[in-house]
């Protein structure tokens, strides 16, 4: 790999970086989704890339792709690695294209209400920038620190889609590097344009994106509507959508509210009784206009709905950004994701709840309503496993849930590695056209291979035989019966060791990466909270640590920005103190290197910019008028 790194560096015209050290490659081998240990051992024993490149210009990105094409090396695009389906996991090796440092804001046009940003820009970067000029994004995923390129490449459904529809519909143009290395721009009228949206890095690498933004609303008024039965809530949602235009409408079942209350009590043990959320089935509706909110109130009164607009509504509105805090409840966390017609959601939720009981997991449902009579429906379940059979059965529940949803008229949402068998069900009539496009532009299937169009593993494909698309409908109907007999509540415990304990609680959401001054200075994910927890675990598993890894672990300002944004609410600075203490005992501390690092952070004034740090505003940071 040393020779390839040197050859690649010679191809570059700008400051692009190449990583080939073993622990960086190990960090790049995961995404947010935690593959159950049994499955990982069999199917993904090694998912490290051969090299990772952070391209600093579109020309360098093109040069990397031309280089890989010549040597027949696969590519895997990666944003913030917050997608849980394995889309950014290089399980067949190759060159990982890391866009997480491409955070340029190129151009903002207030008259046209559009912005052009680098694919690695975080939603937080874009929103913080726009708010200075009285604007904001129309929609965003609840993974606030994921990349714009990542959401364009995946589903595009999140907050604000009830009003504005999918993020894909707001995109006006893209700059893409094709699998041939050619740099192309596509606008929304181009017949090829849609092939790059939601296709998870199969068709090329997105370099920049221009999309619609809006004036910042002056208010956000959340309401909660309470129901005893989930089907009543879902019927009400249909009526509400027919008559009103909320910015966002979401359904949460009573099990989900129970989880949120549990976490609230865990965080605030002295919370007074009655302060928590009512454990009912809820609709959370957010309006951004006083008149619309008033009209909604009048309508709800006439229908005698039980509506809350107090701090509980605000609490749940704030909680929307922390969907993975449930990782604190149990070590196992899995989900199914489907877009269902709104009139099919009630039977689906009834069925998913029943399946949760059969598999002895804690299952809760949420739905995000879109503007086209569909909703993204997410049954999410946590579990403690009781051995490898129990764990495998509980992991298979995700397939049973997806297959059940498809039977009820739903379409799978994310594909990645694990949902590849459901690809046809997602794209239906578009499937053949997409496949033909892939075959014509990437005949060797070098872009993101072994997933999406075909599930293939380096370790061989026999173990994955049950995941063939034609076999899944045959075994999924019987699995609940077997699970009901064999699955148990589980007794899996969390590790006692401080580092491993926090690693286990970490939801791998990546929120801590773009706010970390060490990352902004070094562009090395091993210096971030997610990276350090992984590295800490890796070192313990290996029983050894290299001097280079030890030195990297000291590159930390102990500023606590990672704790402030942490999805799992981890208290992280004491963990860094402990890690450093352990490493120092073995290797001592490279004081000159640490001092040089601190000086560099200070000189770049990284700490002076709170939380939106790291985005690079071009064109003088001023809006461009047309």
Residues at the site binding ligand FAD, with contacts judged by CB under 6 A: 31-32, 76-83, 87-88, 99, 119, 141-143, 146-147, 149-151, 153-155, 157-158, 200-201, 205-206, 323-324, 448, 509, 567
Q: How far is 314 from 317, CA to CA, in rounded Å?
A: 5
**Cβ closest to ligand FAD, residue 16 vs residue 146:** 146
Q: Which stretch binds ligand SF4 (CB under 6 A): 15-23, 222-230, 414-422, 562-570?
A: 562-570
CA atoms within 13 A on the CB side of 261: 17
**Cβ closest to ligand SF4, residue 30 vs residue 223:** 30
**Cβ closest to ligand SF4, residue 11 vs residue 330:** 330
Q: How far is 579 from 530, CA to CA, in rounded Å?
A: 14
When CB distances are held under 5 to 8 angstroms depending on the partner's kind, the choice from ligand SF4, ligand FAD, none that residue 377 binds is none
**Cβ closest to ligand SF4, residue 313 vs residue 565:** 565
Q: Counting contacts by CB under 6 A, is residue 303 touching ligand SF4?
A: no
Residue 532 burial (CB count, 10 A): 29
Residue 240 per-residue DSSP state: H
Structure tokens at 448: 């993101």
**Cβ closest to ligand FAD, residue 114 vs residue 202:** 202
Within 506-535, which residues bind ligand SF4 (CB under 6 A)? Answer: 506-512, 516-518, 528-530
Q: Counting contacts by CB under 6 A, is residue 100 touching ligand SF4?
A: no
Q: How far is 143 from 320, CA to CA, in rounded Å?
A: 10
When CB distances are held under 5 to 8 angstroms depending on the partner's kind, the choice from ligand FAD, ligand SF4, none that residue 506 binds is ligand SF4
DSSP 158-204: -BTHHHH--GGGGEEEEEEE-TTS-EEEEETTSTTGGGGSSSTTSS-
**Cβ closest to ligand SF4, residue 80 vs residue 345:** 80
How, if at all, do strands 616-617 and 104-109 pair? parallel
Q: Which stretch binds ligand SF4 (CB under 6 A): 10-18, 500-508, 584-592, 611-619?
A: 500-508
* Gyration radius of the chain's alpha carbons: 24
When CB distances are held under 5 to 8 angstroms depending on the partner's kind, the choice from ligand SF4, ligand FAD, none that residue 155 binds is ligand FAD
**Cβ closest to ligand SF4, residue 95 vs residue 556:** 556
Query: 539 in helix, strand or coil?
Result: helix
Contact between residue 586 and residue 546 where contact means Cβ atoms under 8 Å apart: no
Q: Counting contacts by CB under 6 A, is residue 80 touching ligand SF4?
A: no
When CB distances are held under 5 to 8 angstroms depending on the partner's kind, the choice from ligand SF4, ligand FAD, none that residue 365 binds is none
Q: How far is 386 from 399, CA to CA, in rounded Å?
A: 20
Q: How far is 484 from 357, CA to CA, in rounded Å?
A: 8
**Cβ closest to ligand FAD, residue 142 vs residue 551:** 142
Q: How far is 575 from 562, CA to CA, in rounded Å?
A: 12
Residue 54 burial (CB count, 10 A): 22
When CB distances are held under 5 to 8 angstroms depending on the partner's kind, the choice from ligand FAD, ligand SF4, none that residue 395 binds is none
CB of 139 to ligand FAD, least distance (A): 9
Contact between residue 205 and residue 75 where contact means Cβ atoms under 8 Å apart: yes
Residue 114 burial (CB count, 10 A): 18
Total residues interacting with ligand SF4, rule: CB under 6 A? 28
When CB distances are held under 5 to 8 angstroms depending on the partner's kind, the choice from ligand SF4, ligand FAD, none that residue 570 binds is ligand SF4
B/e letters for 87-103, b = 16+ CB within 10 Å, e = fewer, are bbbbbbbbbbbbbbbbb
Structure tokens at 500: 């491993």
Q: How far is 499 from 578, CA to CA, in rounded Å?
A: 8
Q: How far is 9 from 394, CA to CA, in rounded Å?
A: 45
Q: Counting contacts by CB under 6 A, is residue 499 touching ligand SF4?
A: no
Q: How far is 34 from 23, CA to CA, in rounded Å?
A: 18
∠ CA(590), CA(595), CA(596), 5° rounding?
100
**Cβ closest to ligand FAD, residue 35 vs residue 509:** 509
**Cβ closest to ligand SF4, residue 409 vs residue 495:** 495
Query: 223 in helix, strand or coil?
Result: strand
Close Cβ partners of 493 (under 8 Å, ≥ 6 residues apart): none
CB of 148 to ligand FAD, least distance (A): 8
Distances (CA, A) of 452 to 96, 198, 376, 421, 466: 17, 11, 20, 8, 17
When CB distances are held under 5 to 8 angstroms depending on the partner's kind, the choice from ligand FAD, ligand SF4, none that residue 401 binds is none
* Per-residue contact flags (x/-) with ligand SF4 for residues 395 to 414, judged by CB under 6 A: --------------------
Which residue of 558, 574, 588, 595 would you call a contact of ligand SF4, by CB under 6 A? 558
Within 197-236, which residues bind ligand SF4 (CB under 6 A)? Answer: none
Q: Which stretch binds ligand SF4 (CB under 6 A): 110-118, 190-198, 422-430, 567-575?
A: 567-575
When CB distances are held under 5 to 8 angstroms depending on the partner's kind, the choice from ligand SF4, ligand FAD, none that residue 559 binds is ligand SF4
CB of 443 to ligand FAD, least distance (A): 19
Q: In what order do the strands lie in the sheet containing 51-54? A: 17-19, 51-54, 95-98, 75-78
Query: 275 in helix, strand or coil?
Result: coil
Q: Is the dihedral of CA 278, 281, 285, 291 positive or negative?
A: negative
**Cβ closest to ligand FAD, residue 147 vs residue 402:** 147
**Cβ closest to ligand FAD, residue 174 vs residue 237:** 174
When CB distances are held under 5 to 8 angstroms depending on the partner's kind, the choice from ligand SF4, ligand FAD, none that residue 375 binds is none
Q: How far is 214 from 346, CA to CA, in rounded Å?
A: 34
**Cβ closest to ligand FAD, residue 323 vs residue 450:** 323
**Cβ closest to ligand FAD, residue 144 vs residue 227:** 144
Contact between residue 387 and residue 359 where contact means Cβ atoms under 8 Å apart: no
CB of 336 to ligand FAD, least distance (A): 14
Which residue of 152, 335, 545, 561 would you call a contact of ligand SF4, by CB under 6 A? 561
Within 568-607, which residues bind ligand SF4 (CB under 6 A)? Answer: 568, 570, 572-573, 576
When CB distances are held under 5 to 8 angstroms depending on the partner's kind, the choice from ligand SF4, ligand FAD, none that residue 161 binds is none
Write out the residues near ligand SF4 by the rule CB under 6 A: 506-512, 516-518, 528-530, 556-562, 565-568, 570, 572-573, 576
């Amino acid at each position: 790999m040393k020779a390839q790194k040197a050859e690649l560096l010679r191809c570059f015209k700008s400051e692009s970086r190449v990583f080939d050290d073993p622990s960086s490659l190990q960090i790049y081998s995961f995404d947010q989704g935690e593959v159950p240990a049994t499955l990982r051992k069999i199917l993904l024993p090694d998912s490290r890339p051969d090299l990772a490149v952070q391209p600093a210009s579109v020309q360098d990105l093109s040069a990397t792709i031309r280089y890989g094409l010549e040597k027949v090396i696969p590519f895997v695009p990666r944003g913030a690695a917050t997608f849980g389906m394995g889309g950014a996991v290089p399980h067949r090796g190759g060159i990982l294209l890391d866009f997480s440092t491409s955070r340029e804001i190129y151009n903002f046009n207030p008259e046209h209400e559009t912005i052009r940003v680098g694919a690695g820009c975080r939603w937080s970067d874009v929103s913080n920038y726009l708010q200075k000029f009285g604007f904001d994004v129309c929609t965003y995923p609840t993974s606030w620190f994921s990349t714009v390129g990542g959401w364009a490449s995946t589903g595009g459904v999140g907050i604000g889609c009830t009003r504005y529809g999918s993020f894909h519909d707001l995109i006006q143009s893209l700059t893409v590097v094709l699998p041939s290395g050619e740099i192309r721009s596509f606008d929304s009228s181009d017949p090829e344009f849609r092939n790059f949206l939601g296709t998870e890095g199969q068709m090329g690498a997105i370099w920049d994106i221009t999309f619609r933004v809006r004036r910042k609303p002056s208010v956000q008024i959340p309401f909660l509507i309470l129901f005893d039965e989930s089907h009543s809530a879902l019927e009400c949602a249909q009526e509400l959508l027919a008559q009103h235009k909320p910015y966002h409408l979401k359904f949460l079942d009573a099990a989900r509210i129970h989880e949120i209350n549990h976490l609230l009590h865990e965080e605030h043990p002295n919370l007074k009784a009655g302060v928590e959320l009512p454990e009912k089935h809820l609709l959370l509706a957010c309006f951004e206009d006083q008149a619309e909110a008033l009209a909604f109130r009048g309508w709800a009164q006439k229908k005698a709905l039980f509506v809350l607009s107090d701090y509980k509504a605000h609490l749940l509105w704030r909680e929307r950004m922390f969907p993975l805090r449930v990782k604190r409840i149990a070590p196992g966390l899995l989900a199914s994701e489907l877009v269902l017609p709104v009139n099919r959601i009630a039977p689906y939720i009834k069925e998913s709840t029943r399946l949760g009981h059969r598999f002895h997991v804690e299952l809760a449902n949420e739905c995000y309503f879109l503007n086209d009579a569909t909703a993204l429906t997410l049954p999410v379940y946590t579990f403690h496993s009781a051995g490898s059979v129990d764990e495998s059965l509980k992991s298979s529940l995700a397939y049973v849930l997806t297959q059940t949803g498809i039977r009820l008229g739903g379409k799978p949402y994310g594909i990645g590695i694990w949902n590849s068998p459901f690809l046809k069900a997602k794209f239906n009539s578009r499937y053949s056209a997409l496949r033909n496009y892939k075959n014509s532009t990437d005949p060797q299937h070098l872009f993101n291979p072994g997933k999406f169009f075909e599930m293939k593993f380096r370790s061989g494909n026999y173990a994955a035989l049950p995941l063939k698309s034609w076999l899944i409908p045959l075994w999924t109907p019987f699995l609940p019966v077997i699970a009901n007999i064999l699955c148990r509540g589980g007794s899996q415990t969390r590790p006692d060791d401080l580092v491993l304990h926090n690693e286990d609680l970490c939801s791998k959401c990546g929120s801590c990466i773009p706010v970390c001054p060490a990352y902004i200075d070094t562009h090395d994910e091993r210096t971030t909270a997610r990276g350090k927890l992984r590295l800490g675990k890796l070192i313990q598993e290996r029983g050894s640590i290299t001097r280079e890894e030890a030195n990297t672990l000291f590159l930390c300002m102990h500023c606590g920005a990672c704790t402030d944004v942490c999805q799992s609410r981890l208290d992280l600075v004491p963990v860094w103190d402990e890690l450093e203490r352990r490493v120092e005992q073995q290797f001592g501390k490279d004081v000159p290197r640490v001092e040089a690092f601190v000086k560099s952070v200070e000189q770049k004034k990284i700490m002076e910019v709170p939380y939106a740090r790291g985005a690079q505003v071009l064109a003088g940071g001023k809006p461009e008028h047309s």
